[in-house]
């Protein structure tokens, strides 16, 4: 990266269940205004904008921003499946680092419908059809496609390393404890490991209902700028992006016979490796992590993909409490997708909101003491994995 990029402002609205939220234009506008106010800049200062979502109108970004202001700025609409929010952030950061712009807005939103989150996985849409073909026979046919894919990845870990189902239940219980302190999370009820295990079985021996994230509506936004612009205009320049990488699938996804790669393990590991090289620091230096826990199974896999623990070491990592307060890292202090919610286009920007809050020391009851290095992971099947490191 050629120019230091600062996260000058962030904004996020409370996530809600489908049917209980405003329309996407209202939600998106609210998040954008919050980010602008947090940065201390007016909309007229924004030189480019990147909007992320996967449902809705083809120019949804324009629909949102036209209610905020009409300045004629370039607006780009980004669809990269569940990694859309971080992909918008990536493009915004890239525009500043290249010198193309000084102040850029990244925002995401999603207005979802009730029902299974997996409806956005089409068995007929290329290239996702390739993933579904790989999952044929791995689960009962009535199991929804996304659950089949991530469940198969978790089952692969269970087979290879003897990981018990209880490990995934412990992740979900941990998410609920974290979300209890997050007023923006959609689910704030604390559940125990035993309650997760006893919930409705979605795939015998592999997954219960509470191990999957819920469909959610919401929006989040971030204002990025160059360090020079921040200093010249008196903006908060404490939090900056020390490394960022976007990776897509490699040959191992379909050739390895390893279901973990179908869920993004390989591209997540590749993106993390590049980020550590860019930043000049490794996983051991990280204090707080927001990662893509669309299923508890994916959180467990991602511990290893990001190098938070050795491959095959996730069960011990969980049992030792190294994924929560008092342990080696605090993973998903927001409650993650499992409890905070997963409005797909907003997810990556909501992760950014949480980590910037942590590094500023403004996360209140969720605050990770002494947090100075934060890591973000956002993955979309089909595929894209974005890993971002923030520092103060």
Q: Tell me how far apart the alpha carbons of residues 14 and 186 are, in angstroms, rounded to a whole number.
A: 7
DSSP-derived 3-state class of residue 384 = strand
Decide if 217 is catalytic: no
Terminal CA-CA length for the chain: 17
| DSSP code per residue over 76-141 | EEE-BTBTHHHHHHHHHHHHHHTTS-SEEEEEEEE-PPSS-GGGG--TTSTTHHHHHHHHTTSS-T
Nearest C-alpha neighbor of 293 from the set 308, 282, 303: 303
Distances (CA, A) of 233 to 47, 99, 227, 252: 15, 17, 10, 47
d(CA 115, CA 211): 15
Cβ 383 vs Cβ 247: under 8 Å: no
Are 24 and 53 contacting, i.e. CB atoms less than 8 angstroms apart? yes
| CB proximity list for 331: less than 8 A, separation 6 or greater | 174, 288, 289, 290, 291, 299, 303, 308, 323, 324
Pairing of strands 288-290, 330-331: parallel
The token duo for 377 is 């992971």
Find the catalytic residue in 82, 213, 309, 352. Answer: 82
Residues recognised as catalytic: 82
């Amino acid at each position: 990266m050629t120019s230091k990029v600062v996260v000058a402002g962030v904004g996020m609205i409370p996530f809600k269940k489908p049917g209980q939220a405003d329309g996407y234009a209202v939600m998106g506008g609210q998040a954008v205004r919050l980010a602008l106010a947090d940065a201390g800049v007016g909309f007229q200062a924004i030189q480019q904008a990147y909007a992320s979502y996967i449902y809705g109108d083809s120019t949804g970004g324009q629909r949102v921003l036209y209610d905020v202001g009409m300045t004629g700025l370039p607006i780009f609409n980004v669809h990269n499946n569940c990694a859309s929010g971080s992909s918008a952030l990536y493009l915004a950061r890239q525009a500043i680092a290249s010198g193309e712009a000084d102040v850029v807005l990244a925002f995401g939103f999603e207005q979802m419908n009730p029902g299974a989150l997996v409806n956005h996985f089409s068995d007929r849409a290329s290239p996702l059809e390739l993933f579904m073909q790989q999952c044929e026979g791995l689960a009962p046919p009535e199991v929804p496609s996304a659950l089949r894919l991530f469940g198969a990845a978790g089952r692969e870990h269970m087979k290879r390393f003897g990981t018990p189902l209880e490990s995934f239940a412990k992740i979900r219980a941990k998410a609920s404890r974290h979300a209890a302190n997050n007023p923006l999370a959609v689910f704030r009820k604390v559940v125990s490991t035993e309650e997760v295990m006893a919930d409705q079985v979605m795939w015998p021996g592999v997954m219960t209902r509470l191990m999957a994230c819920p469909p959610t509506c919401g929006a989040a936004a971030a204002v990025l700028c160059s360090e020079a612009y921040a200093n010249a205009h008196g903006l908060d320049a404490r939090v900056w992006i020390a490394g960022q990488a976007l990776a897509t699938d490699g040959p191992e996804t379909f050739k390895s016979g390893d279901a973990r790669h179908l869920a993004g393990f390989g591209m997540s590991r590749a993106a993390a490796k590049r980020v550590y090289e860019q930043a000049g620091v490794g996983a051991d230096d990280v204090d707080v992590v927001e990662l893509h826990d669309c299923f508890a199974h994916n959180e467990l896999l991602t511990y290893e993909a990001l190098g938070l623990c050795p491959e095959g070491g996730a069960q011990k990592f969980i049992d030792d409490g190294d994924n929560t307060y008092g342990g080696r890292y605090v993973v998903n202090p927001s409650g993650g997708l499992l409890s905070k919610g997963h409005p797909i286009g907003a997810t990556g920007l909501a992760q950014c909101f949480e980590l910037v809050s942590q590094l500023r020391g403004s996360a209140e009851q969720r605050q990770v003491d002494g947090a100075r290095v934060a890591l973000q992971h956002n993955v979309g099947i089909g595929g894209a994995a974005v890993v971002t490191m923030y520092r103060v």
